[in-house]
Structure 1
Amino acid sequence: MLIGIPNLLTPDLLRHLKAMGHGDELVIADANFPAEACAARIERLAGASATEVLRAILTIMPLDSYVDHPARTMQVVGDPDTVPDIVADFQKIIDETADHPAKIRGVERHEFYVEARKTYCIVQTAETRLYGNIILQKGVVPPS
């Protein structure tokens, strides 16, 4: 147990978050996401939802303020303008929790998979809502 660190974040996940540098990205993925096919580094939080994990990570990891879209989600196949409830929840969490609130950008499904393969780590959750996947780009931690 640590003060100020959400209990949801495992020691291995904390190590990955700390090891990531400015501009590195991670995926918070739902239970259906093909994590094994997309990443060498996978952390599984089998008892947590994607929204719980997003909130926990954003309490300790800054979003990149040097890019236009440090948060990206997968667009609904066949209806890219639809915003699934979970994506609306992601946006609310970013607005409330992130050090640098940013508007989420939707990415076409196959392009999302291409982008996911380039990320530092995938955090696979127990999320069962469809389209419960988000890519986050890490920002700079300023000197204290």
Structure 2
Amino acid sequence: MPLKGIPHLISPELLYALASMGHGDEIVLADSNFPSESIARANGARLILCDGIPIPKLLRQILKLFPLDQYVAEPVALMDRVDDDKKKGLDVPIWNEYKEIVGNNVQFEMVERFKFYERAKKCFAVVRMYLPNIIQHNLTYYFLRKFTEICHSDKKSYLPSYIITKWDFSNKHSVSNFAFDYLNRIYTEAIFNINGLNPKLFQKSNKLKLMNELRCTLYFLRRYILTCRFAEENGCQQSLQTLPSYIYEHPYIYSLEDLVKTKLGELHKVLEPIVMKLRDHVLRCSLCFAKGFICEICNNEKSIIFPFNLQITSTCPGCQSCFHTQCYENGKLNCPKCQRTKTRKLVRKNFS
């Protein structure tokens, strides 16, 4: 159930992390070039994926909920340029945008690259925003150009804006030759984060909602399949890897081709047999089945549950533990594992 007043770009996992942070805790907003996974693993920091969302856009939303530390002279830190870039006079325009968002009166700390890495290892969470290069282009700039008649040859194309805002495939629209070529070039590029651009679209289209459920199921299944030697032997890993990796790693990111094929039902026909095959493997495989969960709320040891059973289970955004949805909701969203972790931290703090 979406909460009122929470910016739509703030995922449940990110909201949980922000709410859990206290005095002295730091959070890193990182692009795809930053070694997010290795930094997060160093000291067990949370790795939160917000792929497809530009850092400035997410930063604006975070600051609506998250106050900067007023008792620190420089509450925001940036990774400084290396010496060679400084000698070349390399400009970093995005820094000015950050300062505009945070406030020009806020002091920024410039941290040397490797010192920044070490500091990041001690942070509370790392938020990674994987943004393919193509998405950094202005996808609408060609509509602002004035084209003469020779720039048109009655070419028509689906417009991403119509699809993402209204799920409108009723007509292909006349576009310039330039726009037509550009839309063709990006047709297969996975650049549209539907959850970030228009999360209500999943409610508007039943086909898209079912597709997202399939992809979320694949997202959870991959953790079992890619770590199971039996899945490699029986071809399940190969079946999964026939798909583009973003299909099962980033369930909310779509290409224009994916959206069209979802509308036509073609993508569903491709994914459903793979999902059924992988699910069947996990339930039959002794190694995978041993990784199932017992709901810690009802403690029914006879009921082994898995996070890919989306209809009956819920996953804690903090620790990724799995529960019966009914138990989780009746428990008012209090995760037993997170409660134990919190209690242990308090005990350590009291004894330290």
Same fold (TM over 0.5): yes
* Higher fraction of helix: 2
For residues 14-93 of structure 1, the aligned pairs below 5 Å read 14-39=15-40, 40=44, 41-78=46-83, 79=86, 84-93=92-101
Distance 1:106 1:82 in 2: 15
* Higher fraction of strand: 1
Partner of 1:11: 12
Partner of 2:116: 112
Q: What SS does the corresponding residue of 1:42 show, helix, strand or coil?
A: strand
Alignment of 1:125 with 2:129, yes or no, is: yes
**What does the per-residue CA deviation read over 1:34-59, in whole Å, with 9 as the maximum and x for residues that have no partner?**
01111131001011011111111111
Distance 1:103 1:68 in 2: 7
Q: Name the structure, 1 or 2, with higher relative contact order (CA <8 Å, separation 6+).
A: 1
Q: Scaled by the length of structure 1, what TM-score is found?
A: 0.79
Q: What SS does the corresponding residue of 1:13 show, helix, strand or coil?
A: helix
Alignment length (residue pairs): 125
Checking the alignment, whether the CA contact within 8 Å between 1:45 and 1:126 is kept in structure 2 is yes
Instruction: Please list every run of 5 or more consecutive structure 2 residues that lacks an aligned counterpart in the other structure.
Output: 134-352
In structure 1, give the amino acid aligned to 2:81: V
**What does the per-residue CA deviation read over 1:80-105, in whole Å, with 9 as the maximum and x for residues that have no partner?**
88651111111110018xxxx51212
Distance 1:65 1:46 in 2: 30
Q: Scaled by the length of structure 2, what TM-score is found?
A: 0.34
In structure 2, give the amino acid aligned to 1:108: E
Seq. identity, %: 38
Distance 2:132 2:97 in 1: 14
Deviation >4 Å, runs of 4+: 80-83
CA RMSD of superposed structures (Å): 2.0
